[in-house]
Structure 1
Amino acid sequence: MKKQVTISVSRRGFVAGALAGSLAAPSVLRAQSAAIKVGLIHPVTGFVAYNGQQGRLGGTMAIEDINKAGGIKSMGGAKLEALLGDSQSKVEVGVAEVEKMNEQGVAAYIGCFQSPVTIAATQAAAKYNTPFLVDVAASDVIVNRGLKNTFRLMPGFGVCVDDGIANLGNINKAAGSPAKTAVIVHESGEFGTGTAKLLASKLPSIGIEAKEVIAHDNPTRNFDNIALRIRSIAPDIVMMSNYQNEYMLLARTLFQQKVNVAGFYSILGGGFNYKFVKEMPDVSQYMMDVNHWFNPKSEKAQALKKRVEAGGALFTFEVYLGYSTAMLLADSLERAGSADKAKLTDAIASSTFKAELMPYGPTKFVNGQNQGAKPAVMQSIKGDIEVIAPEEFASAKAVFPKPKF
């Protein structure tokens, strides 16, 4: 219960105070603007807990920066308040978080990292017409259902596959076309299965045959049999689409079993990041990935990278996508001048937000998907991650075919 305080004031003092209070009313109202509640839903426990924690870090850092800069100025300096949810890597828990936050008066959601959880959570939020901004989740099903409340700043697996195939064709051709065959290894969920299906259908367009497509469960603790299978097929390229732990374990197993190929070229390899490169420099050397990445030529991206690393974390894609998505929400709130769900949804839909941290073009949403979003192609070279495509953002040239173990 709030403690009551009684103050004795003379009649003259009361009149003077009342007059001063009336003159100051606009600033008082601005100072007391209600906080805008934003639901951050990520898997901070479970088998992809690291990725979820990184996504939460990016979102909360952005909210902190927005509030320090004066909040939403068109709403009297209203501050953002983060409601933190843990999906636990479970669809039903992600939906339960949406329901709980709706009762708490959330104005918008950001999440959820995993495609199955995001599909269900966005559907749940649609019942209340609450805007849902997807920071990380690759399945194109998310934006192909006609939901008016769902927006994704990042590219989905369709764009990533198209760009990845085109760039692999260019890299292979420049090297004299040594790669003729590939094996695709993917996690068995919506993200991995959808990506693998697209890859298998489009590889022939660049003269590469998919010899086999191999699925694995989440989590998987041993890849020995899959590595032996790949070695027996002897493809020129191994393509991987899976989450952090499985990506790193598969890469290490292939290295230990000396599976020599012209290249490891993953599409949305969840474990291709600074953690992987720093912990496994020999394993990661010359591996390539088509994925979300920051613009290495952006001063703001480099400054945020330093801040994140100074705090003891790594600058993974979950961080800067979470950060950028929260900034997109703040920009939309500023233009809407309101947390009204319909007005906010319209403001997001018409956004031209400049995602300065990313190698993107102008933001333009069509059916909830940002048409300006593009992935980058990266390669691990000498203990660091270099951008090798697109050319305007490149920091190094591709090493292909890679030297044998």
Structure 2
Amino acid sequence: MPSNRKRHTATSRRSFIKYAGAAGTIGLTGLAGCASDDAGNGGGGGNGSGGGTAGGGNAEEVVIGSNHPLSGGLASTGTGMHNAVRLAAERKNEAGGIESLGGAQVTVIKGDNQGKQELGGQVSQELIEEGAHLLTGCYASPATTSATQVAERAKTPFVVSVAADDDILQGRGLNYVYRPQPPAKKMAEDYATLVPEAIRDNGGTLDTAGLFYVNNSYGQAIRNHLKTFLPENDVEVVAETALEFGASNANTQVSKLKGADPDTIIATTYVPGGVTLMKALRDQNYRPPHLTACASATFTDDDAVADLGQAANGVMDNNYALNPTIEKTEEVKQQFNKQFDQGFSATVGMAYTAAEVAIAGIEAAGSTDKDEINAALEKLEYADHIAAMGPVSFKENGENENALAPVNQVQEGAVKVVYPEEYAEAKPQV
């Protein structure tokens, strides 16, 4: 049955005009390169239309399109996220496939958006044409913005794997897009509530902050919300500075922050930007009393933390987190590490969770019809996931009503959840 979700309908047409141009030349194919993966039975089937097996029954396969950066500056994390989608599909297939479709196998096909906005939409279009019944992606918020617009126009459900910008969902009149993770506003609110509390309750002082953020929609959104929420929690922002995406040097930014002498620097970056920050701090022999982050992939990425060594110890980052209190988390992590020989970071884990949510929606629909999958996602409540938050259940605007960004801390070279206590595996070290 068709989707009943209607939100911000008055802005739908205007939003389409605004974002269609950002999607780039979506009518062209081949530039980003789509391919099938070995998570299922090979390539996609069909022409990507809304048709398919409806109302339960049998199907040979269901196809998920993975739209992530597989080359360029975000390739390391993006490849891990794509592999997480593959693993979710493989685990479902090993468990018997989509039971409501007679054991249909889940196939994953992929496209490389290179972290670029102009390729996000194009890759979505290619994956849909290749036969995807549902899409997931994209990590970089600008790429996700264009990717979701194309999916919406094609009436193809899209489960965001990771992308923080509020505007991906809010105010765009989207009916086919869902985000299990917290958006930028929630990430900043959780930082302002949880991190000062964790530091103060353990004997530290956090009265002033300096903001260091990547200069794109993701970084700007977090910055703006932090400036709202931090004063409400008795933290004054005394300096802020932006790093251009892809920049290899942050000495000017660190000099500005050092001059303001805040109790903490709050980093909001992709993995390379956080590494660049740490290098500049080392070069200037400077570190604030507390080095923290909000929604920064650097300090929840096992490989990046290992590369940074002792310098990473003590850094707190409120971000997506894997739930260390359940056995499934370690089981999935060990399987991923063994199969793909790379770290299973919180960002990669959120991509895995998004893929499981997508698969659960297909299972609940009992159909490959896109509108029926969409209707199932609207009503879904999925608790059997590995993220440190409550059941995934979507509000009318497509956001997860139980999304949470807990506090992680690097302790003795390992990323540990330290707050709130219901998900903590260690106490904060201040």
Normalized against structure 2, the TM-score is what? 0.83
- Identity in percent: 28
Aligned equivalent of 2:325: 297
Encode CA deviations 1:241-272: one digit per residue, 9 max, x unaligned: 01111111212321332213120110011211
- 1:309 to partner: Cα distance: 2.1
C-alpha change, 1:67 and 1:175, in structure 2 (3 Å) is: closer
2: CA distance, partners of 1:269 / 1:318: 9
Q: Which runs of 5+ in 2 are unaligned?
A: 1-55
Aligned equivalent of 1:5: none
Aligned equivalent of 1:216: 243
Instruction: Establish whether residue 167 from structure 1 lines up as the match of residue 167 from structure 2.
Output: no
C-alpha change, 1:257 and 1:399, in structure 2 (3 Å) is: same
SS in 2 for 1:279: helix
Instruction: Establish whether residue 76 from structure 1 lines up as the match of residue 95 from structure 2.
Output: no
Q: Which has the higher contact order (CA 8 A, sep 6+)?
A: 2
Contact kept? 1:111, 1:135, Cα under 8 Å: yes
Contact kept? 1:86, 1:97, Cα under 8 Å: yes
2: CA distance, partners of 1:300 / 1:306: 10
Encode CA deviations 1:119-178: one digit per residue, 9 max, x unaligned: 111111111111000011011111212311000111111111111111123134325562
Q: CA RMSD in A?
A: 1.7
Contact kept? 2:139, 2:161, Cα under 8 Å: yes
Aligned equivalent of 1:284: 312
Q: Quick one: which amino acid aligns to residue 367 of structure 2?
A: S
Q: Quick one: which amino acid aligns to residue 212 of structure 1?
A: A
2: CA distance, partners of 1:105 / 1:277: 38
Q: Quick one: which amino acid aligns to residue 85 of structure 1?
A: G
1:2-401 matches, within 5 Å, as 33-144=59-170, 145-175=172-202, 178-272=205-299, 273-311=301-339, 312-366=341-395, 367-400=397-430
Encode CA deviations 1:93-134: one digit per residue, 9 max, x unaligned: 121111112222221101011111111111111111110000
- 1:303 to partner: Cα distance: 0.9
SS in 1 for 2:324: coil
Contact kept? 1:355, 1:363, Cα under 8 Å: no
| Larger of the two Rg values belongs to structure | 1
Q: Quick one: which amino acid aligns to residue 370 of structure 1?
A: N
Q: Which runs of 5+ in 1 are unaligned?
A: 1-29, 401-405
C-alpha change, 1:105 and 1:310, in structure 2 (3 Å) is: closer
2: CA distance, partners of 1:179 / 1:203: 10
Encode CA deviations 1:293-330: one digit per residue, 9 max, x unaligned: 10011101001111222232101123222222121122
Contact kept? 1:58, 1:318, Cα under 8 Å: no
Stretches of 4+ aligned residues off by more than 4 angstroms: none
